[in-house]
Amino acid sequence: MSAHLDAPARERVIAAGAKPLPAILKPLSLAAALVGFAIFGYGVAIGNNRVWHAFQLNWLFFTTISSAGVMFVAVQRITTARWSRGIIRFLEGYVAFLPVAFVGLLVLLAFGKGHAYPWWTDLGELKPEKQLWLGHRFFAVRDAVVFGALAFLQLWYVWTSVRLDVGVSPEGGAPWAAGLRARMRVTFGDERRELHSTHSLQGKLAVFMALLFGFGWCVLAWDQSMSLDPYFFSTMYGWLEFMGGWLVALMTLAALVRFYRKHLEAEDLITEAHYHDLGKLGFAFTAFWGYLAFSQFLVIWYGNMVEETHFFTLRLTNAWTNWTMAAALLTFVLPFFGLLSVKAKTYSPVMLFFALSSFVGLWLVRYVEVYPSVYGVSFNAPFHIWEAGIFLGFLGAWGFCYTSFMDAFPKFRVLLLTSQYRDEVQVPVDPRTMEPLPAHE
């Protein structure tokens, strides 16, 4: 990755990050959320099970992207990356959706269990091992605890990051977060000591988050997606689930960075090198996601075991064929071949096209994960107002959470971009004595 080592003036960074987002975004997002969830509420009221399936697939889609985005932020700390300091706050904002996602999961587990999970009322027909794993109480508690713990850890991590920048910036931002900003400043002390103590804490949080993220999303993928076909199993399923979110988090960040560069008039802070770096990451993880998907398919096809092959046979026949092929085309084929050149990674219209391709492609991936398992052999794939409306609701909720966060806190990592001590964190120190830790390599 490219390193951006020149320190801009703090006043310049604060001024650029203080510019609010376009005023239309928040009410527009809120309106979309209200319309979408009104459609969901109406579907629930008339007893339409499809609204729960649409709710589930959109929950998986938006939540994997948001959680993976914060995990990528933590990876920047694990690797002590410097290239991303000017843009990483745009990805930290994804954390704002996680409390809403947690509430959505509780709604699904509490009120949608008999509608969303086909096995819920026929658990006795499964093997004893699956009866144990999918036992109603164990299932609900497991998912709520796993996701709740991960969301709490990710919120804590972003809190520590934002606190550093609030502590060195003048008061400003959305009024709703004034109390949070004041709380961040109460215990903020010497800049150098705060930098090192926070860096040390984030190192621990990032490692625990990585472990919980990998384990937690495997469990959630098995429960919220793979279990819809209780006779199918794959050890690679969880990886595909969270790496799809990881890929689209990076691709959407590539689009957001272009928006912020223009809107904030920050050509000196967000550079062409950032465009290229994100393009390379988008290309690399497109290839990795394709590798995982093909590896899972190849092993199952070659093994030719009916308890495994029926999963793909269903998705490659009748009404599901075109949806499955479109998902593969948009998520892998187009971005992989389209992003081979340097110019494609840096030329905004092209990169925005492939970011949209990945975004739509992953939604189709989630669709063919959920719907064929629920509706089985079908000559008409269900897609109508329920799917489109509930997608609109989730998109609006995500947009409202994200814009609220970004207008409440500094939009740049002010301290890590401008502090004279910013590069001391490359060699960790004891935050109590400020002496370098021994045996650091």
The string of DSSP codes covering 355-380 is HHHHHHHHHHHHHHHHHHHHH-S-SS
For the beta carbon of residue 390, count every other beta carbon within 10 angstroms: 25
**Residue 174 pLDDT:** 94
Task: Write the pLDDT tens digit of every residue in 239-273.
Answer: 999 999 999 999 999 999 999 999 999 999 999 99
Task: Write the pLDDT tens digit of every residue in 341-377.
Answer: 999 999 999 999 999 999 999 999 999 999 999 999 9
Average pLDDT of the residues in 365-393: 95
Least confident of 186-190, 270-274, 412-416: 186-190
SS (H, E, C) 20-72: CCCCCHHHHHHHHHHHHHHHHHHHHHCCCCHHHHHHHHHHHHHHHHHHHHHHH
Summary mean pLDDT of the chain: 94
Residue 192 lies in a domain: yes
More confident residue, 73 or 308: 73
Average pLDDT of the residues in 188-209: 93
Residue 331, both tokens: 């998520």
Share of the chain above pLDDT 90, in %: 88
Nearest in space to 193 (alpha carbons), one of 435, 439, 437: 435
Residue 273 lies in a domain: yes
**Banded pLDDT at 216 (limits 50, 70, 90):** very high
**Residue 5 pLDDT:** 52
Average pLDDT of the residues in 387-398: 98
Task: Write the pLDDT tens digit of every residue in 219-240.
Answer: 999 999 999 999 998 989 999 9
Residue 399 structural domain: 10-422
- Is 57 within 8 Å of 366 (Cβ atoms)? yes
Residue 54 lies in a domain: yes
Residue 2 lies in a domain: no
**Residue 126 pLDDT:** 85
Nearest in space to 32 (alpha carbons), one of 352, 356, 401, 384: 401
Task: Write the pLDDT tens digit of every residue in 2-37.
Answer: 544 568 999 999 999 999 999 999 999 999 999 999
Task: Write the pLDDT tens digit of every residue in 69-102.
Answer: 999 999 999 999 999 999 999 999 999 999 999 9
Is 291's pLDDT higher than 80? yes
Domain count for the chain, please give it: 1
Residue 4 lies in a domain: no
DSSP secondary structure letter of residue 330: I
The string of DSSP codes covering 210-254 is HHHHHHHHHHHHHHHTGGGSTT---TTHHHHHHHHHHHHHHHHHH
**Residue 438 pLDDT:** 67
Share of the chain above pLDDT 70, in %: 98
Residue 3 lies in a domain: no
Bridge partners, 429 (sequence order): 436
Average pLDDT of the residues in 144-149: 98
Classified as helix, coil or strand, 439 is coil
Residue 186 lies in a domain: yes
Residue 184 lies in a domain: yes
Give this prediction's pTM: 0.95
- Is 166 within 8 Å of 151 (Cβ atoms)? no
